[in-house]
Chain A
Amino acid sequence: MTATPAPAPAPAVSTAARWLRRFGWRHLIAVLAVCFALFPLLFVLSAALNPLGTLQSSTLLPRHASLANFTALFTSGQYPFARRLGNTALVCGTFAVLNVLLGVLAAYAFSRFRFRGRRIGLMAVFLVQMFPQFLTVISLYLMFAKIGDVLPAIGLDTPWGLVLVYLGGAMGVNTWLMKGYLDTIPREIDEAAKVDGAGHAQIFFRLILPLAAPMLVVISILSLTAALNDVILANIFLTSNDSKTVAVGLYGIISGQQDQNYGLFAAGALVTSLPVIVVYQFLQRYLAQGLTAGSVKG
């Protein structure tokens, strides 16, 4: 997929006019698109470096540079940002790992086994995800309040409880993506292993998991982002100030006092986004591959 076709023989004369006609417009469009993609990010960077920290005084290009907002972010007692970053990493990380595991298990069954209800099951997994999850919030809340009476470790206001809630609503698309990918792994490999005496567990862990690694990466990234983006459920389930996540925290920083706290918000937004952006840059090849797998096979 990365192999680009061999370049055509270079033309003998390459004038500037010709370059312009062939490549100039491409560069122009690309630069415009990059501007469109980047100017909000540039603005946030500038706002984060703006020592005044208000929206009113923020401009597209930074006029001053100071790290005041970043230090305020990590030292403010009102918004325990570092702690929330930790909570977020814990919730999102755990969720991503467990979600990938669940997704790949289900996908393996859907891809490799033939059983009654397979078709309906596959469809149901997908459709159930279309239900607006936050409307189940009431029942989930009540359920976890009760669970918390018996098993306080996974009750309300615990990261584990929230991870469980996320897991309940997140299997659909991932299972489909994963199944599409597993379908592209030739079944002869399984059969060869079976002949050699391997059981399903062995085939799954020793053969399929390593082969599906690119897709596992893609799904874990998608899960991670999905959990990171959640404001509603996290806000309802994590009730105490110390257990909240970054998404809820950042929203709280600017809701109501957008103007005054804008620098703080911008700094927090950058700190939160940076790791994700870096990961995406490294994995963009896998992402393109993973998202279209199953639809462009063979």
Chain B
Amino acid sequence: MSAVRTTGTAGAGTRRGRIERIPGFRSELLGNERELLVHLPPGYDDDPGADYPVLYLQDGQQVFDRGQRPTWALDRTLEQLYAEGLIPELIAVGVPNAVLSPFLTHVDPADLGEKVVHERYRRRGPRRLWLDIGGREGLIMARPARELAVQLLDEAGYTSGADLLYYEDPAAPHHEDAWRPRSRHALLHLFGAPSPVVSLSAAERLRLAPGETWSAVNPVAVRADGVRYTALEAEYRVERPEVAAVSPHGLLRPLATGRTALTVGFANFTAVLTSPAIRGPFLGVLAWTFGFALLSTGASFALGLGLALTLHHPRLRGQRVYRSLMLLPYAMPAFIGILIWQSMYYRDFGLLNQLLHARVDWLGDAWNARFAVVLTSLWLGFPNMLLICTGVLQAMPAELDEAARIDGAGPWTAFRAVTCPLLLVAAAPVLISSFAFNFNNFNAIQLLTGGGPFDGAGGTAGSTDILISYTYRLAFGGQGAQYGFAAALSIVIFLLVGLITLVGFRRTRALEELNA
């Protein structure tokens, strides 16, 4: 089995559940009787009132480890997963085949199962589904399994890697010893939290004999939790297109005799710009990212500069005290400040509505929420700007201002023509890095609104989402982690911010001293 996740709790420390036998369970429909095997989770006796999901296992005489060989030992796998906290506790029911005929279980996994899966899941719409097959179980088994998976993707609205996981375990034979480790993957997919993909590889050699028309490549994706599956929605590059063609589902079509190399990747970068479902939210999020970064930086700088100028008077009393007090939001760890603001925005008993005697839905309305995040980042950011502007103002020789005054300039003209340009030059690098910081200010969005509010149409992008919070949700969010896509987005973010910074620095000539 995959060794991606290292677990120290295996074996002795794992709490055991228990297996109960229910003899003589009668099926009216089939007219026969059988014994049922029920695996109760370790916590079952702690709380008699608790509800559990129930997992039915057909062909169930060998699913639990009761000393017989071979066995799936699914009870052990379940207990291990409970101990690791990866899946909720559940009740597993093994339904053994009836004594007289193995085909008189309700479902036979090899052939009836396919039909049941097909009928039920096509009609009821996508839900989490796991299909697997061993590469050494023979083409007669492998091909229908792959075709069923492809059909579900094409016709029933499933998405590979999200709700449908199909895994062709390359060297696995038709045997319990091969199924045992795979059952962990299936359980994690069906009951566990989504997990991002950490690698995708297709190191295999396919040889097609003349006349052989059906063959499929098997690119294996590995998730962070160790689950492996066949990437059925990938992008292929064929080195010599005249030799063979590959469908996105990995079906190989030979065109001529020859050899060619195949490269596989997830179809991510192109999706950002070509898929309408992604392009729409992406462009919206991109626009707000710029809006948020510009507004936050601009407002903070304007307020900081205004206050610095206000306090910058040689005979103003208490200016040090004022500055020290205004510096407090900057000194407080930002995540705490954000969490405080978040609680103040509550509609029902948040402080802001309390003070304003209003019932404004600050975080529930798109524009209110946008205003709220900008206001919060203004609060977080202006002291820094105040500090810097004050520093620059104090470092500026007083003679400059005096000279302007002597030349007849009023205070406004002196500020506009002398102080302001000097200040901007000095503060430019800070402005650029502040812009870049806000561009990726994950905490401000995630802790305040979580990217929301969402429009309810089921889109993944919320009204206050900036690229980085959007990316975070794609990578680690609840509904089918799209780690590959998120990684592609993060490269886009990196290029954008890098470019802005580079251009900014070039324009302000901050780079010139590099050549000094």
A242 within 8 A of B: no
Number of A-B contacts (CB under 8 A): 205
Taking the closest CB of chain A, its distance from the CB of B487, in whole angstroms, is: 6
22 residue pairs bridging A and B, Cβ less than 8 Å apart: A7-B315, A30-B311, A40-B337, A41-B340, A43-B351, A60-B351, A130-B440, A131-B490, A132-B442, A132-B490, A135-B487, A139-B198, A183-B513, A225-B333, A247-B335, A251-B447, A258-B343, A272-B333, A277-B328, A277-B332, A281-B324, A288-B394
Q: Are B490 and A295 in contact (CB under 8 A)?
A: no
Partner of A1, one of B303, B339, B388, B395: B395
Q: With A29-B307, A127-B501, A292-B388 as known contacts, state yes or no: A134 contacts B442, CB within 8 Å.
A: yes
Partner of B335, one of A27, A36, A251, A288: A251
B391 within 8 A of A: yes
**What does the 1/0 interface line of B359-401 toward A look like (CB < 8 Å)?**
0000000000000000000010001100110111011001000
B443 within 8 A of A: yes
Which chain A residues in 99-156 approach chain B with CB under 8 Å?
Answer: 118-119, 122-123, 126-127, 130-132, 134-135, 138-139, 141-142, 145, 148-149
Bound CA–CA A34/B327 (angstroms): 9
Closest to B315 in A: A7
**What does the 1/0 interface line of A277-289 toward B look like (CB < 8 Å)?**
1011100100111
Q: Are B391 and A138 in contact (CB under 8 A)?
A: no
Bound CA–CA A23/B493 (angstroms): 47
Which B residues are CB-close (under 8 A) to A251? 335, 339, 447
The A interface is mostly helix, strand or loop, or mixed, namely: helix
Which chain A residues in 17-48 approach chain B with CB under 8 Å?
Answer: 23, 25-27, 29-30, 33-34, 36-38, 40-41, 43-44
Bound CA–CA A280/B326 (angstroms): 12
Q: Are A2 and B443 in contact (CB under 8 A)?
A: no
**Knowing that A269-B340, A296-B391 are A-B contacts, what are 10 other residue pairs whose CB atoms are under 8 Å apart, sorted by A's residue number?**
A34-B322, A37-B329, A37-B383, A41-B332, A56-B349, A130-B498, A139-B198, A250-B335, A292-B395, A295-B430
Q: Are A26 and B391 in contact (CB under 8 A)?
A: no
Closest to A28 in B: B310
Closest to B516 in A: A183
Q: Are A229 and B351 in contact (CB under 8 A)?
A: no
Closest to B439 in A: A130
Interface residue range, chain B: 35 or more
The B interface is mostly helix, strand or loop, or mixed, namely: helix
A193 within 8 A of B: no
Taking the closest CB of chain A, its distance from the CB of B387, in whole angstroms, is: 5
Partner of A288, one of B332, B339, B388: B388
B468 within 8 A of A: yes
Which chain B residues in 305-348 approach chain A with CB under 8 Å?
Answer: 306-307, 310-311, 313-319, 322-337, 339-341, 343-344, 346, 348
Which B residues are CB-close (under 8 A) to A276? 331-333
A254 within 8 A of B: yes
Taking the closest CB of chain B, its distance from the CB of A244, in whole angstroms, is: 14
Q: Are A5 and B314 in contact (CB under 8 A)?
A: yes
Q: Are B198 and A291 in contact (CB under 8 A)?
A: no
Taking the closest CB of chain A, its distance from the CB of B448, in whole angstroms, is: 13
Partner of B471, one of A127, A130, A135: A135
**What does the 1/0 interface line of B40-79 toward A look like (CB < 8 Å)?**
0000000000000000000000000000000000000000
Bound CA–CA A142/B199 (angstroms): 11
Bound CA–CA A281/B354 (angstroms): 31
A262 within 8 A of B: yes
Bound CA–CA A96/B404 (angstroms): 45
A residues with a Cβ closer than 8 A to B are 1-2, 4-5, 7-8, 23, 25-27, 29-30, 33-34, 36-38, 40-41, 43-44, 55-56, 58-60, 118-119, 122-123, 126-127, 130-132, 134-135, 138-139, 141-142, 145, 148-149, 173, 183, 225, 228-229, 231-232, 247, 250-251, 254, 258, 262, 265, 269, 272-273, 276-277, 279-281, 284, 287-289, 291-292, 294-296
**What does the 1/0 interface line of B422-451 toward A look like (CB < 8 Å)?**
000111111001001000101100010000
Q: Are B311 and A131 in contact (CB under 8 A)?
A: no
Q: With A30-B310, A173-B433 as known contacts, state yes or no: A250 contacts B336, CB within 8 Å.
A: yes
Closest to B198 in A: A138
Q: Are A130 and B501 in contact (CB under 8 A)?
A: yes
Partner of A247, one of B333, B337, B349: B333
Q: Are A33 and B307 in contact (CB under 8 A)?
A: yes
Which A residues are CB-close (under 8 A) to B317? 23
Partner of B326, one of A34, A273, A295: A34
Q: Are B494 and A55 in contact (CB under 8 A)?
A: no
Bound CA–CA A56/B339 (angstroms): 16
Q: With A37-B325, A138-B196 as known contacts, state yes or no: A145 contacts B510, CB within 8 Å.
A: no
Q: Are B387 and A288 in contact (CB under 8 A)?
A: yes
Which A residues are CB-close (under 8 A) to B339? 250-251, 254, 265, 269
A5, A59, A251: most-surrounded residue (chain B CB, <10 A): A5
Which A residues are CB-close (under 8 A) to B348? 56
